[in-house]
């Protein structure tokens, strides 16, 4: 990885006040946490995304929140990657994950989509799964609640108490990824919390890119 380079950090979510605190918008929340910590304004609209720009060490950092709604996130992400000519290994996508327990985050250099519609859109538009991602666990819905409804609900009061800590930890993981690389970030932040996480066979199996 170049010592002086540009990173694109994308958080996924849905635009609009009604979605602002939804579980599905945790990617947006991590970007907002990063923006505050790096004193970056997120007011500019570029290529169907709210965009902010800053620096971290010798690296230029572009933060983005696609405004296309979750299911079409790839339209914005692919446009940003191509316009700024950013390497895919320096394009990190942050999204919610039903299959990770709440309070757990997981960095990966590549992988499948896990059925996450925003990730499916990005993979389709980029034509590859070979880009890093940060999955933020939101846990499974209670009882027989439809997952599609669950992700569009706000975090419950107990979860909201711990949410700032999770967002700060996620932001720390992103900064480590930028400065020290994904291997270092994975070693620090890919830990199990309270032995609650079940093994994810998709993560453990080697993944070959599809042409």
Which of 18, 23, 109, 124 lies closest to 71, judged by CA?
124
- Return the closest-CA partner of residue 48 out of 70, 27, 33: 70
Q: Phi/psi of residue 101, each to 5°?
A: -60, 150
- Reported as type and span, the H/E element at residue 187 is helix 182-189
**Residues noted as catalytic:** 24
What is the spatial distance between Cα 152 and Cα 24, in angstroms, rounded to a whole number? 6
């Amino acid at each position: 990885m170049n010592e002086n380079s540009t990173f694109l950090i994308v958080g996924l979510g849905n635009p609009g006040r009604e979605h602002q605190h939804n579980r599905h918008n945790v990617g947006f929340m991590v970007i907002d946490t990063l923006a505050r910590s790096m004193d970056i304004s997120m007011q500019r609209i570029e290529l169907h995304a709210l965009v902010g720009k800053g620096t971290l060490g010798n690296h230029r950092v572009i933060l983005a929140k696609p405004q296309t709604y979750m299911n079409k996130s790839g339209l914005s992400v692919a446009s940003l990657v191509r316009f700024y000519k950013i390497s895919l290994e320096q394009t990190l996508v942050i999204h919610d994950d039903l299959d990770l327990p709440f309070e757990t985050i997981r960095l990966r250099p590549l992988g499948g989509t896990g059925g996450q519609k925003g990730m499916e859109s990005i993979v389709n538009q980029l034509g590859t799964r070979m880009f890093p991602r940060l999955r933020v666990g939101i846990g499974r819905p209670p009882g027989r609640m439809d997952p599609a409804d669950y992700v569009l609900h706000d975090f419950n009061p107990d979860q909201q108490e711990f949410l700032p800590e999770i967002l700060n930890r996620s932001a720390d993981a992103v900064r480590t990824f930028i400065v020290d690389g994904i291997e270092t970030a994975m070693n620090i932040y890919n830990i199990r919390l309270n032995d609650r996480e079940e093994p994810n066979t998709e993560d453990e199996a080697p993944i070959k890119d599809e042409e």
